Structure 1
Amino acid sequence: MAFRLTDEQVDAYQENGYLIIPGFLNADEVAKLYRVAMEDEAIRKNSFDLDDKAGKKTKLALWFTPGNDVYGLLTRSERMVDSVHKLLDGKAPVCHFHSKLMQKEPKVGGAWEWHQDYGYWYKNGYLFPDQMISVMVAVTEATKENGCLQVIKKSHKMGRVEHGFSGEQVGASMQYVEFALQTMELVYVELKPGDLLFFHSNILHRSEANLSDTARWSLISAYNRQTNPPYITETPSSITPLQTVPDDALLLHDDASGILENTTQFLSVESAKAKK
């Protein structure tokens, strides 16, 4: 039976600003994503480092247009797009903003400062944060020890908080983060491989450095409604309706045809650094 969110899960997301789905992917799907993450040349060539304020590095690769590679097929799968459609405000088609493979390596993987995704996206000219969402899939286990994501429960109801640079990252005003922590719950989002997290574009979240002996790798895909165009930065993928594929397409993908397609539009290292 195809995966579908229940009304209770949708209500929980709207109330708390996030929703965890254990076992969204099965063991075979996770194994395939992990192998691709480790072996794909396109990911290796297009990954870049961002420093936290302590100088520790987090490696990531970011792309805009999902293709017929295994990551694109997951991003466009019916179970994923249908779930996003239920969680976003409005009824317009769901579009893919961007996806990124986060590679937080043992001992050296850096922290991410407190921030809201909409704290970035507001600068691109997107007007409606309720029409934007991020979806994290755990490729490896995420624990407190290896720097799992932390969220401030219900902080999406605060609205957008001012952001500024901290190291090579953009972070939220710590004054408002501290205000939020006085009355709202801090949640460590520990995930098993294949677990999934939906989180609102305005929820405050961060992750600490990976001081463990195990890597923390995750895929994070951001989605947008077609009715929420960017007025400042041109990002065609974010207003192009997704063409969904069956859920089993990920496992049926022919590895010989290439894992991440050469046509994938990656964010360049130069562009990432220029955003400073």
Structure 2
Amino acid sequence: MSIREFQYEGGEFVVTDSMKNAFKEDGYTLVRGLFSKEEVAHIEKAILAGPFLDHTYGVADGDGREAHMILWNHPGVDVTGMVARCEKVVGGCEQLLGGEVYHYHTKLMKKPAKIGGKHIWHQDYGYWYNNGCLFPNMMTVFIAIDKCTKDNSCLQ
């Protein structure tokens, strides 16, 4: 199966019919360049300079290694909160899901290259239901700070 990719070219972000079809058929939409290199640098700086790293905890991968994770439920007033609230993210999610969205949580995954553990693919909806999300109408927005390849711990 080939992955359908889309490229953000700047300006107002518009979810095209092709993006909607990819989401409906594949369960995801890959949009490259949604954030500029400068914006990604601001995100990375905020993560490295902020209090986030003090809240890191390990998640065992079953092979003796750990992935590192930080999780928070309320978007702050910093750069990460601005990402969660920005029109490109919120508007895009609303257009793909077909209605109003809200922030459930933000998760930062840290996987040191070559030594970090795997974050095993899994289905979240089982526990989301127990947390009051009665339908699986949820969206994950994945923003890679570093290039993700098999050479630096990416699973595929």
Note whether the superposition's TM-score is higher than 0.5: yes
CA distance in 2, matches of 1:71, 1:115: 24
Pair member with larger Rg: 1
- d(CA) in 2 for partners of 1:147 and 1:7? 33
SS, match of residue 135 in structure 1: coil
Tell me the number of residue pairs that the alignment of Structure 1 and Structure 2 aligns: 146
- How far off its partner does 1:67 sit? 2.0
Return 5+ residue gaps in structure 1 as ranges. Answer: 150-187, 189-276
CA RMSD in angstroms, aligned pairs only: 1.5
Match of 2:135 in 1: 128
Q: TM-score, normalised by structure 1?
A: 0.50
Matched residue, 1:108: 115
**What is the TM-score when the length of structure 2 is the normalising length?**
0.86
Distance (whole Å) between structure 2 residues aligned to residue 114 and residue 102 of structure 1: 13
Could you tell me how far apart the structure 2 residues matched to 1:61 and 1:146 are? 20
Partners of 2:115 and 2:126 lie apart in 1 by 26
| Aligned: 1:146 with 2:155 | no
* Match in the other structure for 1:29: 39
1:175-197 Cα distance to aligned partner (Å, 9 max, x none):
xxxxxxxxxxxxx4xxxxxxxxx
Match of 1:85 among 86, 94, 97: 94
Q: How far is the alpha carbon of 1:34 from its aligned partner?
A: 1.5
Residues 105-254 of structure 1 aligned to structure 2 (within 5 Å) = 105-129=112-136, 131-148=137-154, 188=156
The one of 45, 48, 63 equivalent to 1:54 is 63
How far apart, CA to CA, are the structure 2 residues paired with 1:142 and 1:119?
27
> Following the alignment from structure 2 to structure 1, what is the Cα–Cα distance between the partners of residues 113 and 153?
10
Which structure 1 residue ranges, 4+ long, deviate > 3 Å from structure 2? none
Counterpart amino acid of 2:32? P
Q: In structure 2, what residue type is equivalent to 1:135?
A: V
Q: 1:112: how far off?
A: 2.1
Gaps of 5+ in 2: 1-10
Cα distance between partner residues in 2 of 1:113 and 1:76? 28
The answer for the alignment partner of 2:8 in structure 1 is none
Q: Write the letter of the residue equivalent to 2:103.
A: H
Counterpart residue type for residue 11 of structure 1 = N
C-alpha separation in 1, matches of 2:128 and 2:153: 24
Q: Larger strand proportion, structure 1 or 2?
A: 1
Secondary structure in structure 2 of the residue aligned to 1:115? coil
- Aligned equivalents of 1:115 and 1:35: distance in 2? 29
In the TM superposition, residue 13 of structure 1 has moved relative to its aligned partner by: 0.6
Q: CA deviation at 1:3?
A: 1.1
Conserved? CA contact 2:46–2:78, under 8 Å: no
The one of 23, 42, 48 equivalent to 1:38 is 48
